Structures are given as structure tokens and as C-alpha cells.
Amino acid sequence: MKKKILLCLLLALLSAMAFAQSPYYEIGDQVFNVEAGTQIPAFLWFPYASQDSFLVGSQTRMSVGGWGSISYSAFSTPYISLGGELGYGFSFSNAGLIFATVPISLRATYIPIQNGTFDLAITANVGGAFNSYDSDMFFGPFASLSVCPSYYFDKNWGIGLKAGMSLTGEFYTASSSRQQYTAACALVPISFSLSYRH
């Protein structure tokens, strides 16, 4: 309990410090990001399966895979930037088959802590993803939420470590003959980020 109270006080203090200073970014500033790293399977959910409908971690029978993306955003306020992202992720099943996803999404980033050298960015993405497993391909919705602290070693260039969770799926209606294939997949991407701002 004491740890939770201490964490809440620390977060409140950091938030107060962030809002006490003037923002670093201006409306119209732009940021380009390139990310590369890994992704960890979180869960697979098959809502119409008769058994083993919710699989977590190693139960998903998926290995740790890879993740990469490129993104662009521009600031609409000193604290919020809007843009888009194109990603690619993959994992291997126990059978050696590849699950690959190519999400294309709109992104909104909120940077509550910014001082020109250090940023703390919270990003939400919403869009769609082209997914494939073995020879099957399908298009489904995509959403993600992530946090990325970044250090800018000069005026334009910065590096960061980004972590979050993404969700994609394959959905069929009750009238579809493929309803039993309806599934949701959650992954935890962890990546290094290289940013260029101007």
C-alpha cells in the first residue's frame, strides 16, 4: 500500500513539474520516428471456441517475435501531435508458421513532460491491420497504446525506449461460415525509437 501511495505522489509531482514549465513544442512542429525491437505475445482469445478460448503468454503457442515501424506527426497544440504510422510485426508458432501483421493507423501523441532534452510521450493508435498466418490472410481492426521516454542528444535527434500493448483481430458475424475463426490477439511491442524533430 505504501508503494502505491509513493508512486501516486511521484506521478503527481512529475505532472506538476511538467505543467509548471513552458512547453518546448510549438504548433506545427513535426516529428519523424523509426522503431525497431521485439514483440511478446500477451493473449489470444477465441470467443466461439468450445474450450481453451482464452490463452495467455506461452499458452498462445507463439514465440517472441520482431516489431518495426515508421511514423510521422505534427503538433496541433504544444502538448498533442497527430499523424500516422506504418508498422510490421511477426511471431512464430510452435509449428514454425509465421503470424505477421502490417498495421496502418492514425496516431495521437500526448507529451505531458517535455523540456527540450527529455520527453515522455503517451501514444494511442487506431486503424486497421493486414494479418497473415500460414497461407491465410485477413484484414482486421488495430489499436495500440504505448509510452515512450526519449532523450534528445541534440536539437533534432533523440533516442527512446517504447513499450505498450497492441490489439488486432479477425472477426466474423454469426451468419458467417467462418464464425469459429473469430479471434483477438494482443501483443506487447518493446522497441528502441529514433526520432527526428523540426
Per-residue pLDDT of the chain (198 residues; tens, 9 = 90+): 666 676 666 665 555 555 546 889 999 999 999 999 999 998 888 787 776 687 787 777 888 999 999 999 999 999 999 999 999 999 988 888 898 999 999 999 999 999 999 999 999 999 999 998 887 888 999 999 999 999 999 999 999 999 999 999 887 777 776 777 778 889 999 999 999 999
DSSP string, 88-99: EEEEEBTTSPEE
Nearest to 31 by CA among 79, 82, 69, 74: 74
Residue 28 confidence (pLDDT): 96
pLDDT at position 26 is: 95
Instruction: Check residue 44 and give its pLDDT.
Output: 84
Domains in the chain: boundaries = 23-197
Q: What is the pLDDT of residue 188?
A: 94
Which numeric CATH code is attached to 23-197? Answer: 2.40.160.20
Q: Which residues pair with 162 in a beta bridge?
A: 191
How confident is the model at residue 2, as a pLDDT? 62
Q: What local confidence, expressed as pLDDT, does residue 112 receive?
A: 94
The reported pLDDT for the residue numbered 108 is 98
Please give the pLDDT value at position 15.
59
CA quadruple 6, 8, 13, 14: dihedral sign:
positive
